[in-house]
């Protein structure tokens, strides 16, 4: 037991009459915890509400197979902790740990339930204040999401109008809904928001609602507008967007497309301003409840008001969990991790037989990602209940970029197969052309910038050099082959459009057990260099190293004289963008000196191909071509060549820096 005055000293309870506070004070107690102590465990039963009196707490989300992820901290006196006592199924959605020693006020859930039964008006007011607290936390979490984003959300996508169906097999016609009371009543009865609401209350709500219909692209409401009403989706698709304070950066939150989904809760939660914008994607029908009518009902019938406010807390709580999940995805660049966290948080409301439980396992491997998306889409459209369908829809929203990555990865697989298994009658030149065309189609699905194309020589038959970047591990094919994206980008998007013919690459001779590499390179008729010893079974094993080098120069020189362009990465291995370029080897430059007529050397700098291409902008810049002999005092002096390579390598660092800046300009333009 604590003194009533100690409760009234908390901002949360200001204005509530003393008798009600005295009832709560009888069952309240003070708890003191040491630094590192756990106050609440995720998934534990929510049996008490806490208010922080001193100290600081951490909020953590558990993800299977990982340490708990920190999603926030709070040290404000009066901070409310454990709001799940007011939200079915009354399980905590995260873990709360003391960052410092803490002093807290504990109020058991039973004390609130007794008070709500005795004084329903007070119950409505307390629940309304809980909703306000959650609404403020939601704004805070979304602002953090915006701060970590820095870019606009994706463009709105036109979506076809889907048939209205429910898990119970009842179909509703949007054209008759509203004109027929029985049909409208059944619609409200099957909406998750009104689940288990007594019929008498549902009939009251039926009398104040009406149907609204809007065309594609219409805003049902804009963020910051006065919240006039609360909605239930009848048909179509709604996208929810959140914008930063300057309205320059907007973030896509999630989409609503299951009939009966609720939105616009700000109409009955102070300050009665919409927190997000709701945009119709395709024609939309929604059932609309005026906010003033709902607030009046809460005052005149506090029993109904309590039912509504508990559901509003449930709805805002869902939005809060989604925001935290999106923060995980943004912070860790792991959308799959965020979905695992989302499903982990909702494990206690899913049936044990739900297919959603296998999603984390399907997301572990890129080869089973398509199975994960197929399962989620099936559940979203035909799930066992609304909870399952809504979770599947949220997961698909979070995984949108992963879906794009999957398409990109599958595109790489198709390109590899088309080259490695090209018909024998197709010439290497034709195979290279088809390869270029397929890569062009793939790269056009990504963000990229190209500059300096005016520096491309008018005639072909030149040597193109470029810094070589690591491949992101996500692009590793099942046979351990990585299609080098930077060289294919330069080939297909820079050189091929200019000259109409695919260039020839110089590559390291693969080991014989790298059959997938050899098959791909052979079919494209690439030129090989030998970095070390030659395998006993290699057809060139009888040649000395000097003879192999001479043969390479002869073969490459002949192709250059025939008008083929050749791409060489003079570092000899890959580096990350920020470390690029590595030291240059002399092979590409000796080739230029040993071919008559002497070809031009065309430098190209690239950036960001070592990252996930669906998350960044890549860049390539063509710099002015030159003849190597013009920069050497003595073209036959080896030391003169080495001195030039040292100078040129340092200059090339500035080339790569310009490519990095060019990519960043694109990101800033998007923002």
- For 435-466, the three-class secondary structure string (H helix, E strand, C coil) is HHHHHHHHHCCCEEEEECHHHCCCCCCCEEEE
Do 315 and 414 belong to one domain?
no
Q: Where does a domain end: 382, 398, 414?
A: 398
Do 314 and 371 belong to one domain?
no
Do 206 and 237 belong to one domain?
yes
The CATH number of the domain holding residue 188 is 2.60.120.10
44 in helix, strand or coil? coil
Do 522 and 570 belong to one domain?
yes
Domain count, the chain: 4
Report which of 319, 344, 332, 313 is spatially closest to residue 397, judged by C-alpha positions: 319
Q: What stretches in the chain show pLDDT beneath 70?
A: 64-67, 147-179, 244-249, 329-333, 478-480, 510-516, 531-543, 666-671
Q: Name the DSSP letter for residue 493.
A: I
Q: Which residues contact 552 (CB under 8 A, 6 or more apart)?
A: 527, 528, 529, 587, 591
The encoded tokens of residue 424 equal: 């024998």
Q: Which residues contact 417 (CB under 8 A, 6 or more apart)?
A: none
Do 133 and 263 belong to one domain?
yes
Residues 34-89 have pLDDT tens digits of: 999 999 998 899 999 999 999 999 998 877 666 677 878 899 999 999 999 998 88
214 in helix, strand or coil? strand
Residues facing 105 on adjacent strands? 30, 51
What pLDDT was estimated at residue 513?
52
Q: Using CB atoms within 10 A of its CB, is residue 336 exposed (0-12), middle (13-18) or buried (19+)?
A: buried
The number of C-alpha atoms within 13 Å of 592 and in the hemisphere containing its C-beta is 26
What are phi and psi for residue 231, nearest 5 degrees? -125, 150
Do 414 and 373 belong to one domain?
no
Sign of the four-CA dihedral 398, 399, 404, 408: positive
Cα–Cα dist 652/604, whole Å = 9
Written in H, E and C, the secondary structure of 500-568 is CCCCEEEEECCCCCCHHHHHHHHHHCCEEECCCCCCCCCCCCCCCHHHHHHHHHHHHHHHHHCCCCEEE
What pLDDT was estimated at residue 324?
80
Cα–Cα dist 269/273, whole Å = 8
Query: Do residues 86 and 146 lie in contact, with contact meaning Cβ atoms separated by under 8 Å?
Result: no
Indicate yes or no: pTM above 0.75. Answer: no
Do 412 and 466 belong to one domain?
yes
Do 132 and 104 belong to one domain?
no
Cα–Cα dist 582/652, whole Å = 10
Do 137 and 152 belong to one domain?
yes
Residues 220-237 have pLDDT tens digits of: 999 999 999 999 999 999
**Helix (H), strand (E) at residue 412:** helix 400-420
Q: Where does a domain end: 356, 371, 398?
A: 398
Instruction: Tokens 């820079």: give the residue.
Output: 494
Do 139 and 218 belong to one domain?
yes
DSSP assignments along 298-352, one per residue: HHH-HHHHHHHHHHHHHHHHHHHHHHHHHHHHHHHT-HHHHHHHHHHHTGGGS-T
Cα–Cα dist 607/543, whole Å = 38
Do 533 and 590 belong to one domain?
yes
What pLDDT was estimated at residue 536?
43
DSSP helix, strand, coil percent of the chain (3-state; round to 5): 45, 20, 35
What pLDDT was estimated at residue 381?
86
- CA dist 34 → 43, 102, 278 (Å): 22, 6, 45
Q: Where does a domain end: 398, 431, 450?
A: 398
What pLDDT was estimated at residue 154?
38
DSSP assignments along 390-401, one per residue: HHHHHHHHHTHH
Do 237 and 309 belong to one domain?
yes
Could you list the residue range(s) of the whole structural domain that residue 114 is in? 4-118
The encoded tokens of residue 397 equal: 């929203």
What pLDDT was estimated at residue 161?
28
């Amino acid at each position: 037991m604590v003194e009533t005055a100690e409760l009234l000293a908390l901002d949360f309870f200001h204005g509530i009459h003393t008798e009600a506070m005295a009832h709560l004070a009888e069952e309240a107690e003070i708890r003191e915890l040491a630094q590192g102590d756990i106050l609440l465990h995720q998934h534990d039963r929510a049996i008490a509400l806490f208010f922080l009196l001193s100290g600081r707490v951490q909020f953590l989300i558990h993800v299977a197979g990982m340490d708990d992820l920190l999603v926030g901290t709070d040290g404000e006196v009066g901070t409310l902790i454990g709001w799940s006592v007011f939200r079915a199924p009354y399980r905590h959605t995260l873990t709360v740990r003391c960052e410092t020693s803490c002093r807290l006020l504990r109020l058991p859930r039973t004390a609130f339930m007794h008070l709500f039964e005795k004084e329903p008006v007070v119950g409505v007011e307390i629940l309304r204040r809980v909703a306000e607290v959650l609404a403020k936390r939601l704004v805070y979490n979304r602002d953090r999401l915006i701060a970590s984003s820095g870019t606009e959300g994706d463009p709105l996508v036109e979506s076809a109008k889907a048939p209205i169906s429910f898990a119970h097999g009842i179909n509703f016609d949007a054209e008759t809904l509203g004109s027929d009371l029985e049909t409208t009543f059944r619609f409200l009865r099957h909406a998750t928001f009104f689940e288990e609401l007594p019929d008498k209350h549902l009939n009251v709500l039926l009398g104040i609602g009406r149907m609204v219909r809007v065309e594609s692209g219409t805003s049902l409401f804009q963020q910051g507008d006065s919240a006039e009403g609360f909605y239930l989706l009848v048909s179509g698709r709604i996208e929810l967007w959140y914008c930063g304070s300057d309205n320059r950066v907007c973030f896509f939150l999630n989409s609503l497309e299951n009939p009966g989904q609720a939105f616009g809760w700000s109409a009955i939660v102070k300050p009665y301003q919409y927190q997000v914008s709701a945009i119709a994607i395709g024609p939309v029908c929604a059932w609309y409840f005026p906010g003033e009518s709902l607030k009046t009902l809460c005052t005149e019938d506090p029993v109904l008001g309590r039912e509504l406010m508990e559901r509003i807390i449930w709805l805002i709580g869902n939005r809060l969990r989604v925001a935290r999940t999106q923060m995980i995805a943004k912070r860790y660049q792991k959308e799959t991790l965020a979905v695992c966290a989302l499903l982990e948080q909702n494990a206690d409301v899913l049936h044990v037989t739900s297919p959603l439980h296998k999603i984390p396992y399907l997301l572990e491997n890129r080869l089973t990602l398509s199975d994960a998306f197929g399962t989620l889409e099936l559940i979203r459209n035909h799930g066992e209940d609304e909870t399952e369908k809504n979770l599947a829809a949220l997961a698909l929203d979070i995984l949108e970029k992963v879906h794009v990555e999957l398409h990109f990865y599958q595109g790489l697989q198709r390109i590899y197969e088309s080259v490695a298994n090209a018909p024998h009658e197709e010439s290497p030149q034709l195979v290279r052309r088809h390869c270029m065309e397929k890569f062009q189609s793939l790269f056009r699905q990504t963000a990229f910038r190209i500059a300096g194309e005016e520096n491309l020589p008018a005639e072909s038959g030149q040597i193109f050099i470029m810094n070589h970047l690591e491949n992101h591990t996500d692009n590793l094919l099942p046979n351990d082959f990585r299609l080098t994206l930077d060289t294919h980008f330069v080939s297909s998007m820079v050189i091929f459009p200019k000259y109409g013919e695919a260039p020839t690459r110089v590559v390291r001779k693969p080991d014989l057990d790298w059959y997938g590499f050899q098959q791909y390179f052979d079919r494209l008729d690439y030129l090989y260099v030998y970095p070390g010893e030659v395998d006993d079974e290699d057809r060139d094993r009888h040649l000395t190293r000097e003879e192999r080098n001479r043969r390479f120069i002869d073969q490459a020189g002949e192709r250059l004289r025939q008008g083929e362009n050749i791409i060489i990465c003079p570092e000899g291995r890959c580096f990350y963008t920020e470390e690029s370029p590595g030291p240059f080897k002399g092979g590409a430059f000796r080739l230029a000196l040993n071919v008559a007529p002497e070809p031009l050397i065309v430098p190209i700098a690239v950036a960001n191909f070592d990252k996930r291409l669906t998350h960044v902008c890549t860049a390539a810049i063509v710099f002015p071509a030159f003849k190597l002999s013009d920069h050497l005092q003595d073209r036959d002096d080896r030391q003169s060549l080495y001195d030039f390579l040292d100078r040129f390598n340092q200059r090339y660092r500035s080339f790569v820096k310009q490519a990095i800046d060019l990519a960043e300009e694109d990101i800033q333009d998007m923002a």
